[in-house]
Structure 1
Amino acid sequence: MIKQNHTSIQQFLSAGAITLSLGWLTACATTSSSLEQKAHFDTQLPHTWQSVNSSQSTLDTAALSRWWQRFDDPQMEALITDAIEKNPDLRSALSTIRQARAERGLESAELWPSLAASIAGSGTQTRDLNNSNSTHSDSYQAALDASWEVDLFGRQQQYVAAADAALAASEEDYRQAQVTLAAEVASTYLTLCSYTTQLDIVRQNLATRESTQEIVQWQEQAGESDALNSQQSIAATEQVRAQIPELEQSLVETRNSLAILTGRTPAALQGQLQLPTSFPSAPANIAVGIPAETLRQRPDIRSSENTILAAQARLTAAERSRLPSLNLSGSIGIEALQAGDLLDPQSLISNLAAGLSAPLWDAGRIRRNIEVQNELLQQAYLEYENTVLNALAEVENALSSIDKRNQQITTLQRACEAAQNATQLAQLQYKAGEVDLLTVLDAQRTELSLDQSLTSTQAEALNAHVQLYKALGGGWDTSSANETL
């Protein structure tokens, strides 16, 4: 039944609409009219994404599984591979899966009888106070006891179904952890690229200002300039120099973050990591498919589906607690006065008992438990709805961010080119005495600011691609996931 319900949800996604109702999911196992209360949401999926002209192409799941290879950066690719193998949080998610499997085994064990064996011996001595005579007697017992609560109406089977769904949800949570981890490593690496590029820009700008400062000092020594210009030049130079320690500290912190993500100590990563000198290449295009394909690809939505199925099964089990239960018990035992007689067939004793019981009055415990499980199911529905809506918004945000950041980069590139030319012209005109020092310093300050803005925007544009891959559910594939799980 769990598989059938899961298929039904996927069929709804394929049709472009999500309609989940409590009555639909519980129709297969309802035993009480309390489930007549409906709880549902109806969200019509868009057929295309708003932020792209055409998204009808099929989602490329093969490329999504290792999307970081499309950035053409071997170091970033190696970092993500190491993180997937060694990250502590990912290993913790694997432990959660093993726990869910063990809990599923506990529920399955309740379907089978339990068997216990016992062997006991005792001796008794009686003394007569009148004549000091005493008597001694021994007895020996061996027994094999069995008990079994027959799953007469399938209540325990529902608990097993709930455990199956919970196990499937934990496996999807592991895959979602892979998706999140790959995106986090890539984003951190891009931040590292941004800081190294900005540090290089600041150092180049510092060299230019130091050159200007030397000219001003020469002019002051020659009497062609005053101390004010010299102090203004020094202040501008030192202001730029002060940015270097801050950027170097940011580099250290970012590198240490990468070490944590890859499951290494900062010292271990520092010996292997080479600071990037440029940004990775942005992917030329991404086949985003249609929204329904994205929802089927995302592990967090698949996990929410299984959470609904688990909650449904627990609710059905709570409903079936109202029905009678059948208990069987039996034992085969041996009672003998001597240990040697334990193997005597004539000492064999056996019994079998069966009992049928049903709850008559429990102060509302079963009814309250049903209400609890029903509310948990409603919460699962709402969480599923929230996950779907967030997924759609994340894809739209990432697509829009890529487009807007690319527009911003084009504008900033023109501005940076103009600022560089302005700085060169200002320096030439200052040497010729046509402009004052403040014009040169202002041109240099504008050039530095625009170069840093361009670097930050380039990092944001690449990170938007990373967030799009994450929003599309990229970063895992069925074959590798099954081998790991």
Structure 2
Amino acid sequence: MNSRYLTPLTIMSLAWLSACTPTRVSNQVSIDSPAQWQHAANAQSAETADLKTWWQGFNDPLLNELIDKALAANHDLKIATARVREANAMVTGAEAALYPSLDFSLSGGREKRIDRIVGVPSGQGIKLITPTADAVSGGLAARWEIDLFGGRHLEAEAAAAQAEGSQEGLHAAQVGLLAQVATNYLELRGVQQRTGILQRNIELQRERLRTLQVFLKAGLANEADMVRQQTLLQSTEATLPVLTNAKQNLIHRLGVLLGEPPENLENRLAGVGPLPKATPTMPNLLPSDLLVQRPDLRLAQSEVSAAAASLGSARADLYPKLVVSASGGVGALAVGGFPSLAESVYALGSGLSAPIFNAGRIRAHIAAADARLDQVAANYELTFLLALEDVENAFVAHRSARDRFSQLTEAEGSAEKAYRLVDAMYQRGAGDYLVVLDAQRSKLAVSDERAKAETAVSVAMVSLYRAFGGGWTIHSGIDKASIR
């Protein structure tokens, strides 16, 4: 075969072989997933899209507004978004190495050098002169490193996996942000509700103190009873600054999450507001669904893919590298007193290099990349176990909070019934006013505990949705072939 055709065919064959990537490393990690949850009965797989706007299940317009503002202005999300852009740019840079590079050059100048002396005939013999030379050249130069063993392709895959990881980092930041906004808002409403109960309790304590003072003057009570009541009032009043501090801290935290100064929310949130009466429905997913839905698990999977690609790229350094280059252009040279010279020029070439001795540098790089792959694979398995723990704990916390709320609701009803009975007896003249006040105080104490339990139920539901990775949309799935 004519050598003129042999070289292009050889280069094309080598380029085709490079697509085989013989140094590729598997990125599959076997995950043992339980069939069902331990603390949630009858969980079935469901579409994950319903998790995207889980907070709307509280049916609270103000909460919806706060979350919309947080998604638009939160600084953690802005930082994560910038990281995604940075990672995508790195992918473009890595993929550019797969293609030939083409450069344009243009140069020109004039020079006169003493070491370039020319003899010129003259009437008096040979005359030595130093001529002025004008030179202009320009052209194109191309270079292409053919990826024989897939090293460049794997570098690009590693960069792409890292970019996917940065996207999952953004999703994780969004999941955490939504849970923080909802949790702080619900806790704020719970604190405000408890503050109202406490203020009614303080008024009741003051009324009881005034009654005891009247009874003391009438000789119907002793001074010890009055002092005990005064102590109880003061201790009850001392709880109010604690709740006020908690309320202010929650408002300040919401301000940071929404990306605005805390005083901007002061007027909107300072007023007493009830806890949302509606709650989202219970998430209905299987343990294996976490591998698709939770951003931290998707991030861990992308780290495995990036590490596997980096290991393959490191192994490719053991094999030869082939570089093809070509250049062409036009040059012109004019020397004073001589005819100008203009000519086209070109160069074609190829080079092959292979490592012979590097004091173990390449092998060390491969060993480090292999250790990195083991690390991220173990981290992926650990992250899945932590995710299972997170969900199971959230199930237990929600069930415990719900049971406690149910019991305290019944206790509150009993306390209300007791208050009505002693009040009815007092109205008929068969009871003591102090007993009525004590019954009312007991009811308020139970109401305070019930308010805390009600808040805990709502917050536990938020934790459950956060544990399931709710709050974002899945655009691409993860291959579940490695799930057993």
Same fold (TM over 0.5): yes
Q: How much has 1:428 moved relative to structure 2?
A: 8.7
1:416 is aligned, of 409, 412, 418, to 412
Equivalent pair of 2:54/2:280 in contact (CA under 8 Å): no
* 1:441–1:283 CA distance, 2 compared to 1 (3 A): closer
Find the aligned partners of 2:221 and 2:69 in 1 and give their Cα distance. Answer: 59
- 2:136 aligned partner: 141
Find the aligned partners of 1:380 and 1:395 in 2 and give their Cα distance. Answer: 22
Equivalent pair of 1:59/1:294 in contact (CA under 8 Å): no
Q: How much has 1:425 moved relative to structure 2?
A: 6.7
* Bigger mean CA offset, 308-317 vs 281-290: 281-290
* 1:66–1:217 CA distance, 2 compared to 1 (3 A): same
Equivalent pair of 1:304/1:380 in contact (CA under 8 Å): yes
- 1:101 aligned partner: 88
Q: How does 1:32-47 map to 2 (within 5 A)?
A: 42-47=30-35
1:141 aligned counterpart, secondary structure: strand
1:285 is aligned, of 258, 281, 284, to 281
Residue 451 of structure 1 aligns with an amino acid whose one-letter code is S
Q: How much has 1:418 moved relative to structure 2?
A: 3.4
Find the aligned partners of 1:75 and 1:85 in 2 and give their Cα distance. Answer: 15
- 2:78 aligned partner: 91
TM-score (norm 1): 0.82
Find the aligned partners of 2:112 and 2:209 in 1 and give their Cα distance. Answer: 110
2:216 is aligned, of 220, 241, 263, to 220
Q: How much has 1:419 moved relative to structure 2?
A: 3.9
1:455 aligned counterpart, secondary structure: helix
Equivalent pair of 1:282/1:465 in contact (CA under 8 Å): no
Unaligned residue ranges in structure 1 (runs of 5+)? 1-27, 481-485
1:78 is aligned, of 47, 65, 83, to 65
- 1:119 aligned partner: 107
Matched, 1:50 2:46: no
Residue 202 of structure 2 aligns with an amino acid whose one-letter code is L
* Per-residue deviation, residues 62-105 of structure 1 (Å, max 9, x unmatched): 32111111111111111112111111101111101100111001
* Bigger mean CA offset, 344-353 vs 196-205: 344-353
Find the aligned partners of 2:274 and 2:450 in 1 and give their Cα distance. Answer: 13
- 1:69 aligned partner: 56
* Bigger mean CA offset, 345-354 vs 288-297: 345-354
Find the aligned partners of 1:436 and 1:470 in 2 and give their Cα distance. Answer: 50
Residue 446 of structure 2 aligns with an amino acid whose one-letter code is L
Residue 54 of structure 1 aligns with an amino acid whose one-letter code is N
Equivalent pair of 2:325/2:348 in contact (CA under 8 Å): yes
* Bigger mean CA offset, 164-173 vs 228-237: 228-237
Q: How much has 1:53 moved relative to structure 2?
A: 2.5
* 1:283–1:339 CA distance, 2 compared to 1 (3 A): farther
Q: How does 1:8-47 map to 2 (within 5 A)?
A: 29=21, 31=23, 42-47=30-35
* 1:287–1:247 CA distance, 2 compared to 1 (3 A): closer
* Per-residue deviation, residues 432-463 of structure 1 (Å, max 9, x unmatched): 898897x8887676545433322222111111
* 1:426–1:334 CA distance, 2 compared to 1 (3 A): same
1:120 aligned counterpart, secondary structure: strand
Q: How much has 1:254 moved relative to structure 2?
A: 0.2
Q: How much has 1:380 moved relative to structure 2?
A: 1.3
What is the RMSD of the two structures over their aligned residues, measured on CA atoms?
3.2
- 1:11 aligned partner: none
Q: How does 1:16-415 map to 2 (within 5 A)?
A: 29=21, 31=23, 42-56=30-44, 58-114=45-101, 115-126=103-114, 135-144=130-139, 145-273=141-269, 275-283=271-279, 285-338=281-334, 346-415=342-411
Find the aligned partners of 1:334 and 1:250 in 2 and give their Cα distance. Answer: 78
Find the aligned partners of 2:83 and 2:148 in 1 and give their Cα distance. Answer: 32
TM-score (norm 2): 0.82
Q: Count residues with an aligned counterpart.
A: 442
* Per-residue deviation, residues 202-254 of structure 1 (Å, max 9, x unmatched): 00101111111111111223333333322222221122112112211111110
Residue 141 of structure 1 aligns with an amino acid whose one-letter code is V
Residue 109 of structure 1 aligns with an amino acid whose one-letter code is A
Aligned-residue sequence identity (percent) comes to: 31
Q: How much has 1:44 moved relative to structure 2?
A: 2.8
Structure with the greater alpha carbon radius of gyration: 2
Find the aligned partners of 2:269 and 2:275 in 1 and give their Cα distance. Answer: 15
Unaligned residue ranges in structure 2 (runs of 5+)? 1-19, 118-125, 477-484
Residue 60 of structure 2 aligns with an amino acid whose one-letter code is D
Q: How much has 1:126 moved relative to structure 2?
A: 3.6
